[in-house]
């Protein structure tokens, strides 16, 4: 048997976020286009150099991006919405970034989650436009690697079925038309890669692990039958990840030369399929055996045993040994982490360390005579040391989780009763205005926080600065005439990290960055121990802000499921148990806020949906404990205390029921880029509690007019009772500039006042 080490993809961010810094400097006009291109080329080549240094057999290219790979694919095929006035030809950078971020005259394309990860992609839009190959970007990357290093790399691109499936704008009647336009372009890309010398071409098809019906399976077969006829000389590795391949017995016979299967997240299903159906002897099997989505060291002895089992069941002639997914979901290297617990560090494996594991496993499988030393025991010792760490031995936390009952998930009264009491207690106007929580974090805010963290600024001086900034923004909100205020969150870096720093069981890194969307990077906390509440987290700041105004100020917390889903989570407990630990800790914080006189408390769950299993038939078990985690954190308050929550971009058509099950009094939803779709959904699936449909997109620097927002509000009233409807931006404002924030909020309030007048006039008639 032949063994080859390879990757599905490698992080493009750079060890010190060089990629992010280059993008943002270019957007600020601090870099010329020529200098920008040169910087990105340097980063792109450094990734190839890293793979070669670590001794990967088959280097992967085409996984680099200027913003997002789905966007790259769309623009490569001329799939550019008409509102951007593109005239054809190669897509220039202003057009590229306008589609991603919007411009003064056109809103950005929609953004949503990449399957069940915390990465967001730009949704391609099909408007019936004539498609064309504007530039074969994958070919350019292939030739660049060939010229720079003399290698024949493996090009990768999003596969045609997944790309089609994730495109919006076509109907079941126009899907065939869309595919007929798309497939010749894929054919051209493949032909040009083959002519340039590509031995293998990886087509990523994660949509094939979702639940597929008979028509969808037939469509996949037709797509790959056509590609096989059009480019018979192309050797295609059809790569899946995040779950087991759906309809294995049928799809495994597709006319491709290799299949990539996930034996981490899809272990159970893929092993069962191998056991029942075997594997085609004329195909190469690429096995994802090292977890590409977590940061824990592999037990190499166990993984080696898994590979042996796969060999036995598949009887494949050639195996590619690789991570379970693109490594963009993990940080780059543990080598830069010098401050964390040594026991924890020894048990970690980021992208580079995972590559080392892949190399070690590949070497082991080649060593049939056992002549080499394989250091499997070291990984076992590291895992065992962490298992016995005192931070995982909090008996009180474990006992409390085990004694949770159904009563702990329920508010005292039903929503209709709470609503009446809250209307009396809060006396808010029709269409209350508010924001999601955070305000712009200026350079001054960042400088002061950095100085404080480096102990260059005293606690007293830093706290005084935070109070000053909070007071300034309370005044700004009052002058804007916003109804429900927030303190601005100037003391917080990241909405998960901030809470993790105050709870037990968390660890934090120095350079462990991953991309969330665009150039937005986060450092997910590491939950490696038992989680418990130690002391009030947000009470001082919230109570101070409330003391400055007669208007209500919301308390602002991050919910338990979002903290879970936006962290790297210990793998020795179930995710449900960890979520309940976090929820019980936050429950104490909610109670502390209420005791301090905070009448409106927002517990954000923007990541609730992304934890969903990819198979719908498995949603129920996850939603049961995820919804209960939110309720466990929020249910102990009195009826008059109003609980809010917030959610980010996602498809809500099939998610209204779980949202309602949260039993939050008010939910704000990030939908400005897909507002019409949510309106249609609410017509079919009415929502009865308070809801704020984000009236403008905060991810774009453009300032929408009051008339633009008013149109969204009027549309919303077609499906919402006026007493339900809150008005707010669609997400937090931390990343925006102050001038654009104030201007946009002024327009939002003006639009709300116009709507109130219209409704009052309508009532009086």
Just list the catalytic residues.
699
- The partner residues of 260 in beta bridges, in order of sequence, read 239, 286
Backbone angles phi, psi at 287, to 5 degrees: -110, 120
Q: Is 554 annotated as a binding residue?
A: no
CA distance 334 to 311: 31
20 is in an annotated binding site: yes
530 is in an annotated binding site: no
650 assigned ligand-binding residue:
no
The response to whether 723 counts as a known ligand-binding position is no
436 assigned ligand-binding residue: yes
Task: Give 202's strand partners.
Answer: 156, 237
- Residue 513, annotated ligand binder? no
With tokens 């480019």, the residue in question is 231
Give the tokens for residue 34: 């020529």
Distance CA 431, CA 666 (A): 12
- Interatomic CA distance for residues 324 and 194, integer angstroms: 26
Structure tokens at 69: 């790979």
Q: Pinpoint the alpha helices (H) of 295-442.
A: 300-314, 342-346, 351-366, 376-387, 395-402, 415-426
Coil vs helix vs strand at 168: strand
Q: Is 444 annotated as a binding residue?
A: no
Instruction: Please report which residue ranges of 403-529 form alpha helices under DSSP H.
Output: 415-426, 443-453, 459-480, 497-502
Q: Is 520 annotated as a binding residue?
A: yes
577's tokens: 């148990």
Q: Is 200 annotated as a binding residue?
A: no
114 is in an annotated binding site: no
E strand or H helix at 625 = helix 619-634
665 marked as binding residue: no
Sign of CA dihedral 718, 719, 720, 726: negative
Q: What is the CA radius of gyration of the chain?
A: 26
Q: Do you know the residue count of the chain?
A: 765
Is 17 labeled as ligand-binding? yes
Angle at 28 between CA 25 and CA 29, to 5 degrees: 90
- Judged by phi (left if over 0) then psi (alpha if -120 to 50, else beta), residue 694 lies in beta
Chain mean position to CA 605: 13
Report the C-alpha gap between 73 and 135 in whole angstroms. Answer: 10
Q: Could you tell me which residues are beta bridge partners of residue 121?
A: 112
Is 5 within any annotated ligand binding site? no
What CA–CA distance (Å, rounded) separates 273 from 81?
A: 41
Binding site annotation covers 731?
A: yes
d(CA 357, CA 5): 10
Query: Is 18 annotated as contributing to ligand binding?
Result: yes
Q: Sign of the C-alpha dihedral, residues 251, 252, 256, 258?
A: positive
| Rounded Cα–Cα distance for residues 411 and 400 (Å) | 19
Distances (CA, A) of 505 to 298, 338, 499, 571, 581: 21, 19, 11, 13, 10
Cα 423 to Cα 348, 591, 636, 665, distances in angstroms? 50, 21, 19, 11
Angle at 182 between CA 179 and CA 185, to 5 degrees: 150
Instruction: Tell me whether residue 437 is annotated as binding.
Output: yes
How far is 333 from 625, CA to CA, in rounded Å?
33
- Tokens representing residue 545 in the block: 């802000």
The conformation of residue 520, written as its DSSP 8-state character, comes to E
Burial of 403 (0-12, 13-18, 19+ CB in 10 A): exposed
Q: Please check if 113 is assigned to a binding site.
A: yes
Residue ranges for the known binding site for L-methionine are 436-438, 489, 604
Residue ranges for the known binding site for Zn(2+) are 646, 648, 670, 731
Residue ranges for the known binding site for 5-methyltetrahydropteroyltri-L-glutamate are 17-20, 113, 520-521, 566, 610
Residue ranges for the known binding site for L-homocysteine are 436-438, 489, 604
Residue ranges for the known binding site are 17-20, 113, 436-438, 489, 520-521, 566, 604, 610, 646, 648, 670, 731
């Amino acid at each position: 048997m032949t063994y080859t080490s390879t990757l599905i993809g490698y992080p493009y961010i750079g060890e010190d976020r060089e990629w992010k810094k280059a993008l943002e400097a270019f957007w600020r006009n601090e870099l010329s286009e020529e200098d920008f291109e040169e910087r990105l080329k340097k980063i792109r080549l450094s990734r190839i150099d890293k793979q070669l240094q670590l001794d990967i057999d088959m280097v992967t290219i085409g996984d680099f991006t200027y913003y997002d790979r789905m966007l790259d694919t769309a623009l490569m095929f001329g799939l550019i919405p008409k509102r951007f006035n593109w005239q054809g030809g190669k897509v220039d950078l202003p057009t590229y970034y306008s589609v991603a971020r919007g411009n003064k005259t056109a809103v950005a394309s929609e953004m949503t989650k990449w399957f069940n990860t915390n990465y967001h992609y730009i949704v391609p839009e099909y408007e019936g436009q004539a498609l064309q190959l504007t530039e074969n970007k994958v070919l350019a990357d292939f030739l660049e690697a060939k010229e720079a290093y003399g290698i024949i790399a493996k090009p990768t691109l999003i596969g045609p079925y997944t790309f089609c499936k994730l495109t919006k704008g076509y109907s079941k009647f126009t899907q065939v038309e869309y595919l007929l336009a798309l497939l010749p372009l894929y054919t051209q890309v493949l032909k040009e890669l083959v002519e340039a010398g590509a031995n293998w071409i990886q087509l990523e098809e994660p949509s094939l692990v979702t639940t597929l019906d008979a028509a969808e399976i037939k469509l996949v077969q037709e797509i790959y039958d056509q590609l096989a006829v059009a480019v018979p000389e192309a050797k295609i590795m059809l790569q899946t990840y995040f779950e087991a391949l759906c309809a294995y017995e049928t799809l495994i016979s597709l006319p491709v030369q290799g299949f990539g299967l996930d034996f981490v997240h899809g272990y159970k299903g893929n092993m069962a399929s191998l056991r029942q159906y075997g594997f085609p002897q004329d195909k190469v099997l690429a096995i994802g055996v090292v977890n590409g989505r977590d940061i824990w060291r592999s037990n190499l002895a166990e993984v080696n045993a898994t590979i042996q089992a796969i060999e036995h069941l598949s009887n494949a002639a050639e195996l590619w040994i690789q991570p379970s997914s693109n490594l963009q979901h993990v940080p780059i290297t543990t080598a830069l982490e010098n401050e964390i617990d040594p026991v924890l560090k020894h048990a970690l494996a980021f992208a580079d360390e995972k590559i080392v594991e892949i190399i070690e496993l590949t070497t082991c499988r080649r060593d049939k005579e056992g002549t080499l030393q394989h250091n499997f025991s070291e990984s076992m010792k590291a895992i065992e040391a962490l298992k016995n760490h005192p931070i995982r031995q909090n008996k009180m936390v474990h006992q409390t989780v085990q004694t949770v009952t159904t009563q702990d998930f329920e508010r005292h009264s039903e929503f209709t009763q709470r609503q009446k009491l809250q209307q009396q207690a809060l006396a808010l106007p029709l269409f209350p205005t508010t924001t999601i929580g955070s305000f712009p974090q200026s350079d001054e805010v960042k400088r002061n926080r950095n100085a404080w963290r480096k102990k260059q600024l005293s606690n007293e001086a830093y706290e005084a600065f935070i109070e000053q900034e909070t007071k300034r923004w309370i005044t700004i909100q009052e002058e804007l005439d916003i109804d429900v205020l927030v303190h601005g969150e100037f003391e917080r870096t990241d909405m998960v990290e901030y809470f993790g720093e105050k709870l037990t069981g968390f660890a934090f890194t120095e350079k462990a960055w991953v991309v969330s969307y665009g150039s937005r990077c986060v450092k997910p906390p590491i939950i490696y121990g038992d989680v418990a509440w130690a002391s009030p987290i947000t009470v001082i700041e919230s109570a101070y802000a409330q003391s400055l105004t007669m208007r209500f100020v919301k308390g602002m917390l991050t919910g338990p499921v979002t903290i879970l889903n936006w962290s790297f989570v210990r793998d020795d407990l179930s995710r449900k148990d960890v979520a309940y630990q976090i929820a019980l800790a936050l429950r104490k914080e909610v109670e502390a806020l209420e005791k301090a006189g905070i009448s409106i408390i927002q517990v954000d769950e923007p990541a609730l949906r992304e934890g969903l299993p990819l198979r719908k038939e498995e949603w129920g078990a996850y939603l049961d404990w995820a919804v209960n985690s939110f309720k466990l954190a929020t249910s102990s308050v009195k009826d008059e205390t109003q609980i809010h929550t917030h959610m980010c971009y996602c498809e809500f058509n099939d998610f209204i029921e779980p949202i309602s099950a949260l039993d939050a009094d008010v939910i704000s939803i990030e939908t400005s880029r897909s507002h019409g779709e949510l309106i249609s959904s609410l017509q079919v699936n009415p929502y009865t509690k308070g809801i704020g449909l984000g009236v403008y997109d905060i991810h774009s620097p453009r300032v929408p007019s009051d008339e633009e927002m008013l149109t969204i509000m009027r549309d919303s009233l077609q499906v919402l009772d006026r007493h339900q409807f809150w008005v707010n931006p669609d997400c937090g404002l931390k990343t925006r500039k102050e001038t654009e924030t104030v201007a946009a909020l002024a327009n939002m309030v003006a639009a709300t006042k116009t709507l109130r007048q219209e409704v009052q006039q309508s009532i009086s008639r």
